[in-house]
Structure 1
């Protein structure tokens, strides 16, 4: 984690959650809102509920949650468990639907490769889907390889297992009351714009931005747009009238572990 310790009375902190095989380098080109602490949460546990608890433990009080791909899915679970803690939500390159049968099969196959010591093959299989039209430049491909190998096989296996515990998030989205921003890459073949229009339609207070030339890794491919969206969201979240917290049994929800 980075930034000064957050308190409920200080500037709203941002809790930032990456996607699969991504780490804090995913956000290296983003200009986060000045004066707001930024806390990075790593994805190292094999359950979406446990990862959501990691996010909630990252700071005290309300915060702005920023998540890409699997990080967005974790954000949906945070919203389900503790909506009163989420002052603002920004999700990008993600999917709020339940897993499909073919996804379970793909995750099992990838896990088998990692278990067999073929993690480098997993990285190469996932690499094209990170970039517009599945066509990265050599420099971009190498940057992704470095980040994925820094994450490593153990975390990759945990992330694959966590994917299997996710569930449909649209109910949690429809009950959200915080301002939200949804960012979509117009050339994202993994999570296409249609996924994000459905998310934005479910969120009562959302703004959608489709970035025509971007793929899946929006913070690398359009850091300017991501930075501007976060500044606007933090301003909206800071102006929001605090809502009374729900009782713990209502806001926390049931564990999916």
Structure 2
């Protein structure tokens, strides 16, 4: 990996490029953002691979990191380093599938804003009723993503498989970052991911919820800056993972 390697960010469900606004300076000058909207994880992985014509650092949150697992499986030679935040490498549960089907049906009937406000927003931050600025930031992103893209993202979630076994083949510097108060993807999910990827480093943000770059941007930026600085060393020298 060289200092010139670009960063490709991959946003979580119902998030757009604004997810990264407060941590963008950590990435350096060459950044491409992907808001995944294909109706399958494989299709989303192809959206990411199309974002850069050279090897890149992949930074994903939630669904974005799940897509990152598939990118690494399909084209490991394209990824020079990988940061996974607030995510889950496991296959969907029966309860998750039922919940996504309910969200899809509500959205199809015109209830998109209700789904966002009443069902999804309470899981995005450390508290079910987050500060107004955080709630507004998320709901504005969700409205920009819109109901049709949301339904495709739900369809993609249903195509997930357990990525844990393939993580043992990951051979790039890997950062795993989570909040200790994440209601969707608790720390044990991230311990499993970090344990599966050889040499991965795991960091937790105390008291933080799911949307780490919005809720705790300074700490997230510090972790990213430190990690990328250690990884962006002359080619031929290993990136320390400790």
Identify the TM-score tier after normalising by the shorter chain.
Answer: over 0.9
Match of 1:227 among 207, 221, 233: 221
The answer to whether the aligner puts 1:188 opposite 2:195 as a matched pair is no
CA offset digits 1:139-173 (Å, max 9, x no partner): 32122111111110011001000000111111221
2:191 is equivalent to residue 204 of structure 1: no
- Greater shift, 165-174 or 9-18, is seen at 9-18
- The number of residues matched between the two structures is 236
Gaps of 5+ in 2: none
User: Displacement, 1:241?
Assistant: 3.6
Which secondary structure state, in structure 1, belongs to the residue aligned with residue 82 of structure 2? strand
Match of 2:124 among 116, 130, 134: 130
Is 1:118 paired with 2:111?
yes
Partner of 2:22: 29
Change in CA separation of 1:241 and 1:177 when aligned onto 2, cut-off 3 Å? farther
Match 1:170 to one of 164, 168, 171: 164
Q: What's the RMSD between the two structures over aligned residues?
A: 1.8
Secondary structure of 2:66's match? Answer: helix
Greater displacement, 143-152 / 8-17: 8-17
Shift of 1:35: 4.0
The answer to whether the 8 A contact 2:164-2:196 is kept is: yes
Query: CA-to-partner distance for each residue in 1:23-52, whole Å, 9 max, x for gaps?
Result: 011111114336441100012110100110
Gaps of 5+ in 1: 1-7, 244-257
The 3-state SS of whatever aligns with 2:25 is coil
Q: Contact conserved, 1:133 with 1:188, CA < 8 A, in 2?
A: no
Match of 1:101 in 2: 94
Q: Structure 2 CA distance, aligned partners of 1:164 and 1:89?
A: 23
1:213 Cα deviation from its structure 2 partner: 1.9
Q: Does 1:68 align with 2:72?
A: no
3-state SS of 1:134 partner = coil
Cα distance in 2 for partners of 1:242, 1:169 equals 29
Query: Is residue 185–residue 216 contact of structure 1 (8 Å, CA) maintained in 2?
Result: yes
CA contact (8 A) 1:64 1:237 kept: no
Structure-2 separation of matches of 1:85 and 1:94? 21
**TM-score, length-normalised on structure 2?**
0.92
TM-score (norm 1): 0.87
Q: Counterparts of 1:242 and 1:172 in 2: how far apart (Å)?
A: 25
Q: 1:82 deviation in Å?
A: 0.9
